[in-house]
Amino acid sequence: MQKVDVPAVSEWPFVTREDLWRAYRPGVRFSESAFQRLRTQGLVTGGVRAARRAGGRAAGQQRLFSRLNLLAVDAHRSGHAEEAAYLCGRAAEIEADARMAESARLLADSEWHHLPPPSALAGRLAELVTEMCALTDRWHRPSHDRHSPVSAVVKGGVDGFAVLVSPDQSVRIMYSQAKLASINRARPGEQVYLYILDLGGPDEIVRPRPAVRLLHRPVQRRGLYGPAPVDATGAAASALRDMLAERQGRPRRQADLTGLRLADDN
């Protein structure tokens, strides 16, 4: 059984157009014409074409976009046109990097249907995605200038609020844990980038965005232990959906503790 230490990517440095649309118009049905307008207005980049294959045959294509586009959209929605343009420009540079095209090609070779969970990455694709993560994060320059993103770590809080703290401790902001949960960053130790708009006086607007980050954990690539991703499709997916639907509203089964004595910290 092979055992190797590899960095485990926790988030893709690429997003799909659906991801961008959800950031631009949360809860609104996707509109192709509206999305194309974002591109012509320079609010999102052109993306990189990623072909899809199934059974060895062409099965359509999709575009992948640098995750920095999410930040650009966010800045645009917050009225920070200059910053949005800057981020969009950086996103375009990342998409022009040969590694992004190679990543898209390898994804096509793996016959992906949706972006697989990042924990499932292996081989050259894992290397590329790791490098793209580092390239993406390099564009986040920690700074305390107005409008610039500030790197921060989520610390434990109280009464529904977490504390976001910059590495040099100079920025400490109380922020809603529920809102952090909406970007999957509610747990202590998570890293975010803070967009801070100083309104003068005691007022400011803070918008945290998730950082693309790497994890390091021993990972086994063969045998019983280690990633074994499966994206069920067709009849299998339908069966799973039916199981979930049938179960809706029923309480979860409680553990039968007959014959067991749990320790106090359970």
228 touches other proteins (CB under 8 A): yes
Question: Contacts with other proteins in 187-216 (CB under 8 A)?
Answer: 187, 189, 215-216
Given the rule CB under 8 A, which of 57-65, 149-157, 202-210, 256-264 is the region that contacts other proteins?
256-264
61 touches other proteins (CB under 8 A): no
Cα 256 from chain centroid (whole Å):
37
Taking the complex as a whole, the smallest distance from the CB of residue 37 to other proteins amounts, in Å, to: 26
54 touches other proteins (CB under 8 A): no
Given the rule CB under 8 A, which of 37-45, 90-98, 160-168, 246-254 is the region that contacts other proteins?
246-254
User: Where do the H-state alpha helices sit in 16-145?
Assistant: 17-24, 32-40, 68-77, 81-96, 98-109, 123-138
Measure the CA–CA gap between 158 and 68, rounded to whole angstroms.
31
Measure the CA–CA gap between 55 and 50, rounded to whole angstroms.
16
Q: Which is nearer to other proteins, 59 or 171 (CB)?
A: 59
Q: Which is nearer to other proteins, 206 or 214 (CB)?
A: 214
Measure the CA–CA gap between 97 and 142, rounded to whole angstroms.
23
225 touches other proteins (CB under 8 A): yes
159 touches other proteins (CB under 8 A): no
In contact, 247 and 214? CB cutoff 8 Å: no
In contact, 215 and 194? CB cutoff 8 Å: no
Size of the site for other proteins (CB under 8 A): 52
Task: Give φ, ψ of 226 to 5 degrees.
Answer: 135, 175
Measure the CA–CA gap between 253 and 199, rounded to whole angstroms.
51
Choose which of 71, 120, 128, 192 interacts with other proteins (CB under 8 A): 120
Nearest one of 133, 119, 110, 117 to 50, comparing CA atoms: 110
Query: Which residues contact other proteins by CB under 8 A?
Result: 1, 3, 8, 10, 113-117, 119-120, 122, 186-187, 189, 215-218, 220, 223-225, 227-233, 236-237, 239-241, 243-244, 247, 252-263, 265-266
